[in-house]
Structures are given as structure tokens and as C-alpha cells.
Amino acid sequence: MEIKTYKIKDICEISRGKAITKEYIRANPGEYPVYSGSTLNDGEIGRIDECEFDGEYVTWTIDGYAGIVFYRNERFNASQHCGVLKVKSNEICPKFLAYALGMEAPKHVNNACVIPNLTLKKMREIELDFPSKKIQEKIATILDTFTELSAELRERKKQYAFYRDYLLNQENIRKIYGANIPFETFQVKDICEIRRGRAITKAYIRNNPGENPVYSAATTNDGELGRIKDCDFDGEYITWTTNDYAGVVFYRNGKFNASQDCGVLKFKNKKICTKFLSFLLKIEAPKFVHNLASRPKLSQKVMAEIELSFPPLEI
């Protein structure tokens, strides 16, 4: 399979948007999106009644959250913080370019500045490898499928968070189950045994492979750092990250281990449903994280004092 290497300047017309203020957007409402250096809402900061670009383009964020790449196929506008690429080579699939550049562009961001940036000058010189256009299109189609799945998962997470917060709200519980539902308030120390894991190094994990997960202060992969043959915990527990990505809560049910950066809660009150507590703590625990420290943390001492209200067990 032949692979060709091109610089962006060889395959694209390169430009940037114009100054479009929030006041201008408010004064000229319309249907055409304005993309900026933001990454929220796919970079859209508003809509106006004029259109500067129409067709297939690739855009990138020039400064701020620099180096984030988007594929566009529509009528749109770009602010001065948004770079715009128009493919001028028949050998290049714009969507494949967007995926390839999305991986490469962040490597070229100048993070030494007060405001990180990826200028037009730097973008021009970025080199990318391209297979035949037919293969580019096939790869882009496959990646589109995963992008759609990722977008659906994000929407599902938003939906889940909405219903979780709604259903765990006292006022809403009373609307659903009756105004006279009694609630009891406990501190975590009153209903749980509280401890943390032990020192388990990556070297120890490599030297003692097994089937039982080791949970840490990480949040990726559900906090799993690796697997070993030991087992410190067996049953229904709640864990939380004590530092770094502090205050992230997980429900556990099975055999596992915990590192010293992982707090562990075991129920000692039969009036409380473990999984219900985990949902409550997912909402409440982040509010108690100490973010002023060099490493954000949620200590055992602070966890012990968190107060939570519970409806009857049957609810």
C-alpha cells in the first residue's frame, strides 16, 4: 500500500476567521454558527445571519484550548481564534484529514506561552501520512461509527446524571412516594467502617499477577491499576479516590484490593442500601474535596463527617 506524506500547506488553503464579538452575535441573530477557540458545544459561541464559509472544511482552535480539530460540512463562520483549512487536493478526504490532524495537532501546540497556541505558521508545516483516497474514506467511515457511539454515550451520561440527581432529591422523592416519607440523616462514620488501602506498587503488581483488581486514585478503567493474586476485600463496598482525581466514588461488589490512594467504605447499618449510598456520595463527595492543596484530596477524616439523608430502605 502506497503512503504519501504531505505538509498541510501542500494540500490545504489555510486561513483564520475574523473578529466576531458577543455583542455582534446578539445584534445579528441568525441560523449560521460562529466557531471560536472554545471546545465546548463543538466550538460554537452563537449564531448569526451571515455565512462566511460553505462546504467541507477542517477547523482548529488557535489559542486557549489550542490544537483541537473539528470537521465541518455546513455553512458557518469562524472567529479570529479559529483556524480554517479547505482541502485543495483531490487525493485527500477532508474527514480523514480531520481525524489524522486531530491526533497530530496537539503535539505542535506551543505550551510555553501564557496562552497556549497553534498558529497558522505552525499548522502549515505539520506533516501527515496518507494512504490512497479510497482507503482514507474507508477509515473515516469506520471512525465515524465510533464517533457517533461516543456522542451517544455522552448524551446517555448526561441523561443518567439528570435522572440520578432528580431521583435522589428529597423533594422529588416525596413527590413520587408521598409527602410524609420520613428521612433519617447520618454522617458517613455512623453507618460505615472507613479505611484506606495499602501500598501496592506497579512492581508488586507485575511480580504477583492474578485475577483480583487493584483500585487506586485513578478514574480511568474504573480506577483499576492492575490485577494481583491477593485479595484484601470481598463483598459489597464503596470506594473513593482520596487524592489527585479526588472524590470520585465507585460501587464495588466482589473480590478486590485497594491502594493507599483509595478509600474504602463497608456498611455497618442494615437500614442503608449500599448502592443507594454510592449514588448519594457520587453527588456529595466532590463538594468536600480540598482543592487548595498541591494535590486535591478527600481524606478519611473529611469523608467521615459528610452528612447524608436517607428515605426508608424499601424506597
Q: Identify the pLDDT of residue 111.
A: 82
Q: Which three cell numbers stand for residue 256?
A: 478486590
Pick the CATH number of 183-310 from 3.40.50.2300, 3.40.1160.10, 3.90.220.20, 3.40.50.300: 3.90.220.20
- Separation between Cα atoms, residue 45 and residue 25, nearest integer Å: 9
Q: How many CB atoms lie within 10 A of CB 307?
A: 10
Q: Identify the pLDDT of residue 314.
A: 65
Give domain limits for the chain. 4-144, 183-310
Fold match, 4-144 / 183-310? yes
Q: Which three cell numbers stand for residue 274?
A: 449500599
- Separation between Cα atoms, residue 214 and residue 196, nearest integer Å: 12
| The pLDDT of residue 315 is above 70 | no
* Complete DSSP assignment for 117-175: B--HHHHHH-EEEE--HHHHHHHHHHHHHHHHHHHHHHHHHHHHHHHHHHHT-HHHHHH
194-234 pLDDT, tens digit each = 999 999 998 999 999 999 999 998 888 888 999 999 999 99
Q: Report the range of poorest mean pLDDT among 49-63, 148-162, 243-257.
A: 148-162
Q: Is 15 exposed, middle or buried (0-12, 13-18, 19+ CB in 10 A)?
A: middle
CATH of domain 4-144: 3.90.220.20
| The pLDDT of residue 178 is above 70 | no
Q: Identify the pLDDT of residue 168.
A: 62
Pairing of strands 192-196, 29-35: unpaired
